[in-house]
A and B are shown apart, each in its own frame.
Chain A
Amino acid sequence: MLLIGAVPTAMFVVMSALIWFNVYAFTVSPLSALKIAIGVVPSAVVLGSGLWVLVFKGDSPLHGVPVREEEQPELWALVRRLAEAAGTAPPDDIRLTADANAAVVEDTRLLGLIALRRHMFVGAPLVAEMAAPHLAAVIAHELAHYGNRDTRFAGTAYRSRSAFAHTLTAMNRDDYLQRGLHFLLRHYGRLVLHASANLSRRQERAADEAAARTVGSAPTVAAFGDLTSIAASWELFRRRHLVTGWQAGYLPADAFAGFRRLRDSLEGEPVEADEPDPYDTHPPMGERIASVRALDAPGTVRVPAGAALGLLRDPRPLLDAALLDGLGPEALAKRRADWPALVRIGALASATEHTGLVLANAARATGRPVALRTLLDALDADMLVEVGTDPAGPQRPTDGPRVRRERARILVHAGLTGAVLAALTDAGALHWSESWPSRGAVRLDERYDDSLPDLLDAAVSDRPDTTRLRALLDSADQPRERPRGRWHYR
């Protein structure tokens, strides 16, 4: 507490001294004081605004979806039992979030002297993937922070850090006075950040021990492993899979089923070992596991074995709502698709990024309708450069003919690939499938023994040859009852 308060106190002292000095100077010589003020006022303003962030900043809006006790009595009952075992009051609300972690936050005022409400955040990925005793260990760990009275000042410690960072970045280093202050604060502040990280590590160790005493050492150690692997795979899932159809307006119908399949496909792959970071607020994982194991605690609260999902009634809509909450308001407008459809939608959306432009160029160059056949005709007529010119592209007046031609070839290849993939998909000649952990896979129907990449390369080569590509499209495009996509062949 002493150290946490030290940065803002130092900032306050420096600011007051600057103001006092200026006021004093004013009484001695108003003209000199005015000159001094030119240097002092900006510094005082910067320090003052940093302190404002620290002391008066309210709570940030809560994220996550509330889990109501009347709807989910089993989860609430577990949390209450764990709170009782930890010797603390249960939280005022539980919220399910889209993050792969759990947290405790208390609303406070005046640097943590007044506490208002306690919130518990539980990540939906943890609920979806962990066993109930492991999730109980995570919750017990978070509740232990309440029992230890950690959380009330945690907000202050956090805000002290952000006020400090705010002040440092706001300082204008062109001016000597501010440069000097910057130097002092930077070196002194580094010391304090280090100390507050140390304090935080001690709190984490205490919480680990409390969790082990409540639910047992074994589930607690297992929960550590789960947390690391879920966090890594969730990050991959969010980046690579969850938003694959986002641009086309789609989200997965059952996101967590996909997450399960991703994790199954990653089974046995090593999880990155965490490197020690001097400012990390958690002790190294190896150390945490060793000390919990050494306790060999049997646990006092019995948690039924089985998946954590069993703690929730009708969990799917709740998990889905938490996921949408994490994706922002735009997510509500997305349509839903199952995973194979999503693979197709996402891949075609990115493959056809340049298709519209290339087809339109071909239609303009030949005076014929916008269609894949028109594009192939234009390529046969050696109109590669016309078809592949992007008015918004990076061309320069000094570009030679080969540069223009190569640039066009790359654009046309991309646009043509998208058009062909779309046409063959419409014709039922391409099969899209899930292929965890990759984004998906596509395969040409067994009826055809062509190599699609070779056919596409041949169509945009210096001596263009579209005959085999046309033959493939013709044989695939037998009239059938099916909806037409945007980029039909005929």
Chain B
Amino acid sequence: MALQIGAKTRVLMAMRKEAKARGLSVQKYMGTASHQELIALIRQVDPTVNPAEIVPGLPDIPPVDVTRWGMPPEAALSTDLSRPVPVVGAAVAAARAGDWRPAADLLERSYGDWAMRSVAVHALGEAAADDGAWMRAWRATAGENRHFAAVEAHGLLWLGWKLRGSRPGEETSPMQHDAFFQTLRRSEAASHRAIELAPDDPTPWSTLITLARGLSYDPDQFAAHWRELQARDPLHRTGHEFALMYWSPEDGPGSYDSLFAFADRAAAASPSLAFLVLQAAFDYEARDENIWRDAMVQRALDLVLRWLSTPAGGGGVFADSDRRWAAYALVSAGRGAEAVPLFAHLGVDASGRPWEDYNDDAAAVFDSFRRRACAAVRS
């Protein structure tokens, strides 16, 4: 306790100094400085304190040394989403270096493995949105084929979001909104082109499901697309993930009851979709944090953990995705100690949801959660 007060006082002194340097009062400084700045300042004073205990409202980052549990230091964390599946990572790295062939090979070789295709198109789409040169080279050499078309459609979806940015609507300029809608419309048209080229492929339908929220599809329009996706792959994971986001009552149609019912039905259909209940709880937690201790959520969490212990669940392309949801849910539910092996398995990979919903803070939130997991072991 004595040490704690000492740290608090020293942080306050440092803040006073920092505020003075900027010509602000301490209150004004605390109101304007970002969480990251405040955390950096606290760490400078004393790296062994938890920011949440110094300044209420700052993230809970227990001062534990995660490397003792075999986890990499915070500086090594990566939010690169192509990393978890090595073949996809290799294709994306080649594409970013200007070579489209590994991407084309992977998509051709794995055609019919819709889970792999979904992960590959998602990661390649981001690379296409960042730099169009390799896509132009691909089309110039190979013409517009079903693989190119699927990546192009998904890439335009990524591009739309990158042009818009992830700030809330009122902090987004009319020009950013226009760019977003125009580009999403282009993605929609490109998806239909991809569907023409590959009528049996669920991937472009999944892209359309992902667009549904941004383009404000009405429920009938959404249902028509959903039926097409279901006909091609009834357990399509990415499709389910974004369908749940479409139905989120946060600013879309539907209610939380129907959201949880949708997630629970999917979980009953296959343990590979049990994570949806955790995703729904993540959506709901701002209203009531106790949702993590709810029986339905706990049941789904145990289902995800059991699924991860099977060869199919623990070795599939979505295994790390399940590990992230399970780790987040375990820490949130006060079962942090059980999350330690999951975080150790994730290693430097801080990509994907739920972390990516925190935008620039994704790696910091990941780090905070794994520290909380480790701290739960110690106490």
Contacts and interface: CB of A to CB of B under 8 A. Distances in A.
Contacts of B129: 400, 402-403
Interface stretch (A12-20, A131-139, A296-304, A407-415): A407-415
Given A406-B183, A410-B179, A399 B131 contact: no
Contacts of B183: 406
Categorize the interface residue count of chain B.
Answer: 10 to 19
Contacts of A354: 175
Interface string B270-301: 00000000000000000000000000000000
Contacts of A406: 159, 163, 179, 183
A410 B175 contact: yes
Nearest to B179: A410
A402 B159 contact: yes
Contacts of A403: 129-130, 159, 162-163
Interface string B177-190: 01100110000000
A407 B130 contact: no
A394 B159 contact: no
B132 interface: yes
Contact of B179 (A399, A400, A407): A407
B230 interface: no
Contacts of B165: 394, 396
Contacts of A400: 129-131, 162
Nearest to B96: A400
Interface in B186-204: none
Nearest to A401: B131
Classify chain A: how many residues form its interface, as a range. Answer: 10 to 19
A401 B130 contact: yes
A297 to B, nearest CB: 48
A400 B129 CA distance: 8
B175 A414 contact: yes
B173 interface: yes
Contacts of A405: 132
Interface string B159-172: 10011010000001
B130 A394 contact: no
Contact of B130 (A402, A411, A414): A402
Nearest to A354: B175
B56 to A, nearest CB: 13
**Considering the complex of A and B, which 5 residue pairs feature the smallest CB-CB distances, nearest first?**
A400-B130, A402-B132, A403-B162, A410-B179, A400-B131
Interface of B: 128-133, 159, 162-163, 165, 172-173, 175-176, 178-179, 182-183
27 contacts: A394-B165, A394-B173, A394-B176, A396-B165, A399-B130, A399-B162, A400-B129, A400-B130, A400-B162, A401-B131, A401-B132, A401-B133, A402-B129, A402-B131, A402-B132, A402-B159, A403-B162, A405-B132, A406-B163, A406-B179, A407-B163, A407-B179, A410-B163, A410-B178, A410-B179, A410-B182, A411-B175
